[in-house]
Amino acid sequence: MKVHEYQAKEIFAKHGVAVPKGRVASTPAEARAIAEELGGKVVVKAQIHAGGRGKGRLVNEDETSSMYENLTNDPDNYSGQVVGDRVGGVRLANSVDEAEQAADAILGKFLVSIQTGTAGKLVKNVLVEEQSAVANEMYLAIIMDGVEAAPLIMASTEGGQEIEEVARRDPDAIVRIPVNPAAGYESYISRTLANRLGLSGQQAVDLGVLVQSLYDASLANDASQAEINPLVVTEDGRVIALDAKFSVDDNALFRHEEVAEMRDKDEEDPLEVLAGDLGVSNFIKLDGNIGCIVNGAGLAMATMDTIKLAGGEPANFLDIGTVNDPQRVVNAIRVISEDPSVEAILVNIFGGMARVDIIAQGVIDAEKQLGLKVPVVMRLVGTNLAEGEKLLEDAGLDVIRAEGLGEAAEKVVAAAG
């Protein structure tokens, strides 16, 4: 689960990470009042779950697709600006009047950036915070590394830009330090990072405090990612988190009620929200037209690959898991049916603990409750196959059957036209 920048900074500050002074506003008047508190010179930042806000553009809802195409094909002439005529999602304001005007220009508009996709994101809030005179920009993040089975600290002197681009251009520019979970954060990490980032004296000390505080915030909240880009040294020598991204492991949210309440469902894909509400937890919306219902993450990935090899495009990833209730199958079909791009559904079940007869009954119940609006191809193998076959036969369900995965992929691609 992602949180907004202002929420991430609240979490950071709670654990001792230095952040600029500021608060969130939902109206231009609120932005003006906050700017007055901060002395007038502020930065006004759109709050959405996507990066590239400063270079993004603010448009009306019916202009998002064309603006995304312009940003993709001609960024030099279309990308937004922090100061200038092309209004981006991050604006500098040198007075309370300018702060109010900047908030008015941002709020209620759709922000389109390279990371939002064609639909853009509606801006409902802005973060108004003090301006920082930046002397140096760096990058800092803590992620959970599955390969190392440990938290991984990453840092770079090349902050303020996409770290993926830095990694492609110059992998050695990124410092990577895994943290032994048993030992926890050790002082040598701070010394190593300060040396690699070119900091010394009090700035090196401040960096160490900040990194350890960020590590504590990550551990305390079961974060999958905590990122500061840019981490800056100001002209007066402070080391502060100028930006903040924070994501929490969904499976740990039951332990973090305060963080869970920060969830903004409006920033998430509506189908993924619906899937979560219906208990279909392992669902990710994709761009294709073939819905997939599969048991097991590995088989789901293989199913999507096979669909692509057959010339089709999967509309979703869906690992239905071990199914002991036909209603879960109904709910999965309900979510997929809500996607207007879906033109056929492939049900690919290799029954082990997931019984074929439960899946078959779920598809039958979905026809009764929802009506199957698009062709359904079923490839069923495994536990209680005979019982499942009989249920389908007795129900007289109009589905397309396939023996192997390759055959199923070819049939579903054909069914989708």
pLDDT tens, 156-174?
999 887 888 888 888 888 9
Tens digit of each residue's pLDDT (9 = 90 or more) over 79-112: 998 888 888 999 999 999 999 999 999 999 999 9
pLDDT of 71 above 90: yes
Whether 188 is catalytic? no
CA 231, 236, 240 angle in degrees (round to 5)? 20
Chosen CATH of 21-130 out of 3.30.70.360, 3.40.470.10, 3.30.70.120, 3.30.1490.20: 3.30.1490.20
pLDDT of residue 340: 94
Whether 139 is catalytic? yes
User: In the chain, which segments carry CATH 3.30.470.20?
Assistant: 134-260
pLDDT of residue 323: 81
Across 60-65, average pLDDT: 95
pLDDT of residue 368: 93
pLDDT of 379 above 90: yes
pLDDT of residue 321: 85
32's tokens: 């003006």
pLDDT of residue 82: 87
Q: Which residue has the tokens 């559904």?
A: 345
Q: Which residue has the tokens 């993709």?
A: 72
pLDDT of residue 288: 95
Tens digit of each residue's pLDDT (9 = 90 or more) over 358-371: 999 999 999 999 98
Across 302-307, average pLDDT: 97
**What is the assigned CATH class of domain 134-260?**
alpha beta
Residue in 68, 78, 139, 215 annotated catalytic: 139
Q: What is the mean pLDDT of the chain?
A: 94
pLDDT of 281 above 90: no
pLDDT of 324 above 90: no
Tens digit of each residue's pLDDT (9 = 90 or more) over 106-131: 999 999 999 998 999 999 999 999 99
305 φ/ψ sector (left φ>0, alpha ψ -120 to 50, else beta): alpha
Q: Which residue has the tokens 């402070």?
A: 238
pLDDT of 40 above 90: yes
pLDDT of residue 218: 96
Residue in 5, 98, 158, 227 annotated catalytic: 227
Architecture of domain 270-415: 3-Layer(aba) Sandwich (3.40)
Cβ-proximal residues to 159 (8 Å cutoff; 6+ apart), any chain: 137, 138, 139, 140, 229, 230, 231, 232
For the chain, the first-to-last Cα distance in angstroms comes to: 36
* Preceding omega of 181 cis (within 30 degrees of 0): no
Across 326-333, average pLDDT: 94
pLDDT of residue 352: 81
CB 334 within 8 A of CB 370: yes
Across 188-207, average pLDDT: 95
pLDDT of 11 above 90: yes
Cβ-proximal residues to 208 (8 Å cutoff; 6+ apart), any chain: 187, 190, 191, 193, 194
pLDDT of 180 above 90: yes
Crossing angle of helices 96-106 and 28-37, rounded to 10°: 150
User: In the chain, which segments carry CATH 3.40.50.261?
Assistant: 270-415
